[in-house]
Amino acid sequence: MSDKASSRLYPTRIDIPVEARKQIIAILNQTLAASLDLKTQAKQAHWNVKGNDFFQLHELFDEIATELEEFIDLFAERITALAGYALGTARLAAANSILPEYPLDIDAGLDHVAALADRFAPYAKHLREAINKTTELGDADTADLYTEVSRTIDKQLWFLEAHLQASTTQGGNGATATKIGEKATVK
């Protein structure tokens, strides 16, 4: 991220010390980048999913993207409430996301589910780390925001993993699929 833009602060009467706010804003901008990236990856899955569970997964992926859109706005607004500058363009998100690139060679529903689960897990970990860091920096409000989002992300990861867990025993078409984190293949 641009040093000038990422360290840019507006005048404010908020009582959180400047140095703490700079660190919190940097954490929030990292989250903003990852959130934007994850939302677009969920939309990639939404647009390209195929297979027996197409409709259900198409709807699930769209719901996930919609929830992420709400979180994106909350993170950006918290940055600006702390008198920071939200760095939320697509190019900045791609350059600064903690998430791996989404695979473009998949079509099957379970492959998309696994790809999203593989991205939700590090995102959830990042959120929990941000809860601790912002608490240490004396910003209970930002920690509370992260806690709120973390609960929902853990729930969405659970929904994704439930599809994968069921598929490891018996797929909807009678075939057995691979374990979590591996590309789903029918045996």
Q: Which structure tokens are listed for 157?
A: 């990861």
Element (H, E) at 73: helix 54-81
Total length of the chain: 187
Output the pLDDT for position 7: 74
Classify domain 17-169 by CATH number: 1.20.1260.10
CA–CA distance, 26 with 136 (Å, rounded to integer): 15
pLDDT along the chain (187 residues), means of 10: 68 93 97 98 96 93 97 98 96 95 95 97 98 98 98 96 77 44 45
Residue-range domain boundaries for the chain: 17-169
Q: Do residues 79 and 32 make contact, with C-beta atoms less than 8 angstroms apart?
A: yes
In one-letter notation, the amino acid at residue 42 is A
